[in-house]
Amino acid sequence: MALGSESIHGMWSSRLMFILAAAGSAVGLGNIWRFPYVAGENGGGAFVLVYIGCIFLIGVPIMASEILMGRAGRQSPINTMRDLVAHSNANPLWQVIGWMGALAGFMILSFYSVIAGWAISYMLQMAAGDFTGGDAVQAQEAFGALTGDPVTVVGLHTVFMLLTMGIAARGVGAGLETTVRILMPALFFLLIVLVVYAGVTSGKFIEGLQFLFSFNVDKLTWNGVLIAMGQAFFTLSLGMGAIMAYGAYMPKDVSVLGTATMIALLDTAVALMSGMVIFPLVFANGLESSAGPGLMFVTLPLAFGHMTGGAFFGAIFFLLVTFAAITSSISLVEPAIAWLIERLKASRVKAALLVGGLAWLFGLGSAFSFNIWSDLHFVGDKTFFDVMDFTSNNILLPLGGVFIALFAGWAIDQEITRDQLAVSPRVYATWRFVTRFIAPAAVFVVFVLAFF
């Protein structure tokens, strides 16, 4: 059977637009708060080196596989997998990849919207000077007051979901592309401004760089290597259908491997620059550098509150976080919207409202997990938020990544992969070997250890 030549949903206008869109999907909250502190805890430069190696051994090959599959099918991930399986005479069970990706993206969006709502609140609070001169107790109480108020949390969740749906409803050109054309350059500009601010005002910029980049091999344990592998996989938005959906709108004359490499480099640059912002501010105020999730919503507001111009630049930081969340959220919702348009012949507006409404509804469970449902456990000691987070990030995404690599390496018609990659025989053989053996094995190890 013939595969699609152009998507009915529209096309990216250029290679740059696809790179910005896919980088926007990859750059999210994990880059800004998680990568810096896990790098610092696990050997600094040694961890960064292992992470970059994992990016090219795991992330880029799987991302290239997901892009080429999307561009070959030119439909939603669900229908793309249906046609690729049929064209390759493969086992119909491979179609589960499309469904798993759409489900994972939907689940992540439902609780991602809640966390992004917190960032909006902190942007406004920082601008109002609420953290100026505050202490650790006040910062902790402010975070507890926000998450403990179900009305406020749901309101912010609603605002963010409406923003996401409003962009998605406008389509690939007017909605997705216009948004990333504005927000991604703005995101990099704000990040550069914050790096300069941290360097000029903190007095601890060198100390922050040493913490992030010092080559401390003795701190890099095997557990740290596994963390680097997991971070390399999760940071690129793989296994959730977003990259496959975006790949469906990618022009035919664009290099798949070259583009995947550029996206990985941009994603890594954001993570490293975030560390160059965060750690000088943290050290300048004698705060805990390994605060984990609390680093963003407790430690950093406290640091900004004691810096010259902290209210203004703190607001810029959380504006940056909000931008990153929006560019990620619109990619999370696209696979389901595209499928509804194809399956039900629905308009994009109706499809966006349906998907967004359902994600908002599921998101209420996550919003309530921090207040009125905090004592309600659904599986073991896990709240609703914990269940959604664990199921999507620890089960669906890594399994989806393993299946994508295995399908691209073993099951898909090689004419498709050769045509889509359009590289030399040596490069193709290298990609195929890594995709068949190294990448799926590495992600499977991450899956097993994360699950158990």
Query: Which tens digit of pLDDT belongs to each residue from 118-171?
Result: 999 999 999 999 999 888 888 889 999 999 999 999 999 999 999 999 999 999
pLDDT top residue among 300 and 92: 92
Alpha-carbon distance of 229 to 444, in angstroms, equals 11
What is the model's pLDDT at position 231? 83
Select, from the ranges 43-52, 234-243, 433-442, the one with the highest average predicted confidence (pLDDT). Answer: 433-442
Is the predicted pLDDT of residue 224 greater than 60, yes or no? yes
What is the model's pLDDT at position 222? 82
Tokens 């913490």, residue located = 211
**202 found inside a domain:** yes
**7 found inside a domain:** no
pLDDT digits (tens, 9 = 90+) for 205-214: 998 888 888 8
Q: What is the dihedral of CA 160, 162, 168, 170, to 10 degrees?
A: -130
**3 found inside a domain:** no
Q: Which of 86-95, 228-237, 313-322, 403-412 has the lowest mean pLDDT?
A: 228-237
Is the predicted pLDDT of residue 16 greater than 90, yes or no? yes
What is the percentage of the chain residues whose pLDDT exceeds 70?
Answer: 97
Helix 96-127 vs helix 136-147: angle between axes, to the nearest 10 degrees?
Answer: 130
The pair of structure tokens assigned to 265 is 């480099």
What is the model's pLDDT at position 6? 80
What is the model's pLDDT at position 210? 86
Alpha-carbon distance of 288 to 201, in angstroms, equals 19
**8 found inside a domain:** no
What is the model's pLDDT at position 212? 83
Element (DSSP H or E) covering residue 140: helix 136-147
**294 found inside a domain:** yes
List the domain range (segments joined by +) for residue 240.
15-451
E strands present in 50-190: none
Residue 57, C-beta contacts closer than 8 angstroms, at least 6 positions apart: 434, 438, 439, 442
Alpha-carbon distance of 44 to 209, in angstroms, equals 9
The letter for the amino acid at 68 is L
201: nearest Cα among 130, 302, 283: 283
Total domains in the chain come to: 1
The pair of structure tokens assigned to 133 is 């001169």
Query: Angle CA(270)–CA(272)–CA(277) in degrees, nearest 5?
Result: 90
3-state secondary structure of 250: coil
Average pLDDT of span 21-31: 88
Q: Which of 163-177, 190-204, 413-427 has the lowest mean pLDDT?
A: 190-204
3-state secondary structure of 9: coil
**10 found inside a domain:** no
CATH number of domain containing 247: 1.10.4160
The letter for the amino acid at 272 is L
What is the model's pLDDT at position 296? 82
Confidence band of 292 (pLDDT split at 50, 70, 90) = low
Alpha-carbon distance of 76 to 137, in angstroms, equals 48
What is the model's pLDDT at position 349? 96
Q: What is the dihedral of CA 314, 317, 323, 328, to 10 degrees?
A: -130
Is the predicted pLDDT of residue 294 greater than 80, yes or no? no
Could you say which DSSP state residue 75 is in?
S
3-state secondary structure of 194: helix
28: nearest Cα among 376, 321, 409: 321
Could you say which DSSP state residue 382 is in?
B
Radius of gyration of the chain, Cα coordinates, nearest whole angstrom: 21
**1 found inside a domain:** no
User: Please, is 391 exposed, middle or buried when counting C-beta atoms within 10 Å of its C-beta (0-12, 13-18, 19+)?
Assistant: middle
Is the predicted pLDDT of residue 452 greater than 80, yes or no? no
What is the model's pLDDT at position 2? 52
Confidence band of 289 (pLDDT split at 50, 70, 90) = low
Q: Do 148 and 371 contact (CB within 8 A), yes or no?
A: yes
pLDDT digits (tens, 9 = 90+) for 40-54: 778 788 888 899 999
Per the prediction, the chain carries an average pLDDT of 91
What is the model's pLDDT at position 417? 97
Alpha-carbon distance of 23 to 401, in angstroms, equals 18
355: nearest Cα among 333, 331, 338, 339: 333
What is the model's pLDDT at position 1? 44
Q: Name the β-bridge partners of 379.
A: 382
Q: Do 339 and 102 contact (CB within 8 A), yes or no?
A: yes
Q: Do 277 and 105 contact (CB within 8 A), yes or no?
A: no
Q: How far is CA 34 from CA 194, 278, 289, 294, 392, in A?
A: 18, 11, 11, 10, 17
What is the model's pLDDT at position 192? 94
Q: Do 257 and 432 contact (CB within 8 A), yes or no?
A: no
Q: Do 198 and 234 contact (CB within 8 A), yes or no?
A: no
The pair of structure tokens assigned to 313 is 């630049």
